[in-house]
Amino acid sequence: MNESLQEALDQNFFNLLASRDCLNPKTLICFSGVPYSGRTTIAKAITERFSGVYVDKDQARTLIYQNEKIGNTQQPEDLLDEYMPTVFDRLKKDKNGLITLNASIDRKYDEYAKWAKGNDYKLIIIDIDIPLETAENAIKKERDEKTAEWFVGQFSRWYADHETFLANHEIDYTIYDAERDLPGLLDYLMNIKLGENG
C-alpha cells in the first residue's frame, strides 16, 4: 500500500474511530450474513449500548475507491485486506477492548478467529438470518436501479457463503429481524457480561 493511501485511510478512518479511551475487556463482535440484512443497525446499537469501538469495513473500502486509481474489482479488496490488520493491531493497544466489526465474516472467519485467539479476545458471532426478499427490498429502497441489480445478482453467492459458514461454525446468537430481535440480543449480551473473558 502506498504512503498517500495509508495516510488518507488513517486520517479519515482510523483516527476517527470513537470511544477508544473507554474501558472494556477484550471482545470482538462479528457478524455472519449478507449485505442489507440490518447489520449496520445492529452493530451501531451494540456499540452505543456498550461503549465499544465501531469498525465499518465499508467505510474503509469507500475511502480506497476515493483515494486510489482502481484497475479491477479485486484491487480494493486486496488493499482492504492489507489495511485492516493494521487497524486491529493498533486497536489492541487501546484501553477499549470491545470491537464491533460491521462486516460479514462468512469468508474471513479464520483470519479474525486467529487474531482474537492470539490476542486473548473473546469472539462473539451473531448470525443475521433474513429472507432473500427482505434484503432485496432493502437494496432497492437505498440504491439506484443499476447498483441494486448488481447486488441482487450477487445474492446467490453470498447466501451460499452464509450457509456454508453456518454449517461449519458455532453461532452465539441469531437475529431473524433486525428491529424486532435487537432488544433480545442486547439483553443476551448483557446477561453474558459482554467483554468479560473466560
- The per-residue pLDDT for range 117-158, each reduced to its tens digit, is 999 999 999 999 988 888 888 888 988 988 888 888 888 899
Q: What is the pLDDT of residue 197?
A: 52
pLDDT in tens, 51-71: 999 999 999 999 999 998 888
Identity of the amino acid at 81: D
H helix or E strand, kind and range, residue 48: helix 39-50
User: DSSP labels for 93-126?
Assistant: TSSEEEEEEEEE-TTTHHHHHHHHHHTT-EEEEE
Which residue, 122, 124, 128, is CA-closest to 42? 128
Q: What is the pLDDT of residue 196?
A: 59
CA–CA gap between residue 19 and residue 141 (Å, rounded): 31
Q: What is the pLDDT of residue 198?
A: 43
The 10 Å Cβ neighbour count of residue 13 is: 20
* φ, ψ of residue 12 in degrees (nearest 5): -105, 0
Residues above pLDDT 90, as percent of the chain? 74
pLDDT in tens, 20-37: 999 999 999 999 999 999
Q: What is the pLDDT of residue 138?
A: 87
Contacts of 163 (CB under 8 A, 6+ apart): none
CATH 3.40.50.10320 fits 3-191, yes or no: no
Q: How confident is the model at residue 5 (pLDDT cuts 50, 70, 90)?
A: very high
